[in-house]
Structure 1
Amino acid sequence: MNRAMKPLAYYAHSSMRQGNQIEVPIPYTIMGFDMPVFLSFEDIYEFINLQEISANCILVYMRYLEELCRINGQAEKFVFVSPSLISPVRTDTEDAGRRERADNLLSFLRDAPKERLYLVPHNRGRHWVLGVIDPWEDLVLYFDPLREKKRDDFTELMNMAFTDWKITTGEGIRRRRDCKTKFSNCPCPLQEGSVECGYFILGENGLDM
């Protein structure tokens, strides 16, 4: 076990029992509304043992990064978007609720000032990837620790949200409304196993903070 994890492991084993939970408030700036998430003993156990981690762990880390941005005077530079708002609940349907998920993303982008970046973790079915969105540049930076080229749902989701954003802001007049968003596959560390993707996305979320 990593030395930095030992205090968390000690707390979980000494102060929590299976079935107990830690309530962590998540602000509207991440979820679109204020709500708590609950970390269970199992969530923490899986995290400290580098097993497959839950969306709740990623949400709590995003809240930490948002607070860090405020402390460092970078609150206007980054926005963190909850993966639960844009990841498909089911992946066995044709569009997996893509229209609703694109609307969720659009609600964050609607009043986007220039030079603001949106960090969007996305789970495409037991695999985490990260998108970093710059709407004014019509650009999505894509981080995948498996370095796979397949990103059908993510690409369609981004194109839908960007098209609507251009219409809403009038950018569709300046630029062709049907112009495809630019995607850039960015290098990131390659995961060696099958469950480390969430930890890589945590690291990419915190890049350059």
Structure 2
Amino acid sequence: MLKLPKKKNKQKRNGSPIPNAPMTQEKSHPSQKLPSQNEVVSSKASAPILFKIPSGVPRFLKCLLTTVKYVEPSFMIKITMDFEIFGHENDLYISQEDIVHVGVMEEIGASCVLLYIRILYFQLVKREISHFFRFVEPIWLSNVGSTEEERVEWVSKRMLDSNPGQMWLLPYHKGKHWMLIIIDFDHQLCYFLDSLHSFPPDEIKSLISRVFQHLRTNNAKTKEVAWRTVKCPRQPLQSVQCGFYVMRMMKDFVTNEFSIRWLTSNCGGKNYYTKDEINEVREEWAQCVMDLMSTT
């Protein structure tokens, strides 16, 4: 039986650079423990990444890009992810490549999304509403290197202690594309948000259905899960902004005073995100990285 790591009394919230770089790619998960996308060691970047700082980049992001432009390929920032964020404490690693991809609006990996979840979590803590929202790690939904049985057990264990009124946010990555699932646990409703306006893939519907079946066998008060496809903001054609759209949708959901109404009204009827709205999450991300770097 898989077991979650025990909660540690002392929480760490600072980051420090380390010489060895883990990748943002996924690897096979050991069956003896829960997976983390940050346990992998990088085989990338044997030379510095060459890039040009785009015009119109927000202030903190421009400063961050300037800072890492000439760092060693092994440059890495180690960040402790507190127990409460995902139900276990682990380390997150942000590389030069992650920073560049956020800065030049290229496809972003799981580490970038995880860091933004950390940002949202501490914003919710500050507002004293973190108990209303919980997050599931994207890799726990991935079929890379794990069986469906393992994924069902990992997600079930994470959701087993759901409290009344809690909403679950599950960023989902498939085929180089980011999507978002929001689960209203009380009503067993899964909302699917995809910036390309597709429908929920059968494999994720099967996984979530089995998670709720698993919870029912553990005496959780659940019923058959229902799905609702949300007409969310649509990303520009020929773009790779799906990761940024998922981060922005998570922000809009957890900061909205009427979050359920925001969902049921198709994200307030918003058709797309403006450049400023996407830049806002990129700037928050960059400011967090700069703050972490300054404490080391």
Fold similarity call, TM over 0.5: yes
User: What is aligned with 1:99?
Assistant: 149
User: What is aligned with 1:166?
Assistant: 216
Tell me the amino acid that sits aligned with residue 149 of structure 2: R
> How far apart are 1:74 and its partner, in Å?
0.8
TM-score when normalising by structure 2 = 0.63
Pair 1:87-2:137 in alignment: no
The farther-off stretch of 75-84 and 3-12 is 3-12
> How far apart are 1:194 and its partner, in Å?
4.5
User: What is aligned with 2:205?
Assistant: 155
Contact 1:79 1:119 in 2 (8 A): yes
Structure 2: state its 5+ residue gaps: 1-53, 256-296
Contact 1:20 1:41 in 2 (8 A): yes
Aligned residues: 197
CA change 1:150–1:117 in 2 (3 A) is closer
CA change 1:22–1:160 in 2 (3 A) is same
Contact 2:192 2:200 in 1 (8 A): no
- Structure with more helix by fraction: 1
Deviations 1:86-119 (A, max 9, x none): 22216xxxxx622211211111211111110110
Once residues 69 and 133 of structure 2 are traced to their aligned partners in structure 1, the CA distance between those partners, rounded to angstroms, is 35
Contact 2:178 2:194 in 1 (8 A): yes
Contact 1:110 1:169 in 2 (8 A): no
Deviations 1:96-145 (A, max 9, x none): 62221121111121111111011000112211111111122010111111
**3-state SS of the aligned residue for 2:156?**
helix
Once residues 113 and 72 of structure 1 are traced to their aligned partners in structure 2, the CA distance between those partners, rounded to angstroms, is 19
User: What is aligned with 1:144?
Assistant: 194
Contact 1:29 1:80 in 2 (8 A): no
Structure number with bigger Rg: 2
Contact 2:77 2:93 in 1 (8 A): yes
* Consecutive aligned runs of 4 or more in structure 1 exceeding 6 Å deviation: none
CA change 1:150–1:108 in 2 (3 A) is closer
User: What is aligned with 2:65?
Assistant: 9
Pair 1:113-2:163 in alignment: yes
The farther-off stretch of 40-49 and 146-155 is 146-155
TM-score when normalising by structure 1 = 0.87
Contact 1:30 1:82 in 2 (8 A): no
User: What is aligned with 1:183?
Assistant: 227
**3-state SS of the aligned residue for 2:186?**
helix
